[in-house]
Structure 1
């Protein structure tokens, strides 16, 4: 299964929820980092870690496919 087919394949419900949580973490961290007020360095650092975690969770969740789509033949087999 090529990566483009994997991204376009249906995502299970659990991973759709995880993807939404990851996107919410990204949004919250973006708001904190771009805040017009001065925040403590610890808060900004934690927001950076939240952004990385949210991005990873969203990417992994998007790449997960439903079980019925896994058994497609590979190219060249």
Structure 2
């Protein structure tokens, strides 16, 4: 558990910072579509759910990448 904490606090390489930002944006767009006050087709709702999950995983994995 201590290794994960050390990796989380280590400096993140620039490439992974960009990936992390892209993941957060993907999750935000998916969340916005899921919270839309209008009725959207089922395919868009499904895709938005996948976007939230994929964006969250991308951001989390990019956070634990560290420079050597």
TM-score, reference length from structure 1: 0.84
C-alpha RMSD of the superposition: 0.9
| Bigger radius of gyration among the two | 1
* Structure 1 residues 27-74: Cα deviation after superposition (integer angstroms, max 9, x where no partner): 10010000000000000000001011101100110010002xxxxxxx
Q: Is residue 2:41 matched to residue 1:65?
A: no
Work out the number of aligned pairs and report it.
Answer: 67
- Matches of 1:2 and 1:50, distance apart in 2: 29
Instruction: Tell me the CA shift for residue 4 of structure 1.
Output: 0.7
How does 1:1-77 map onto structure 2 within 5 Å?
2-67=3-68
* Structure 1 residue ranges, 4+ long, deviating more than 3 angstroms after superposition: none
More helix by share: 2
Q: Secondary structure at the match of 1:2?
A: helix
Alpha-carbon deviation of 1:2?
1.3
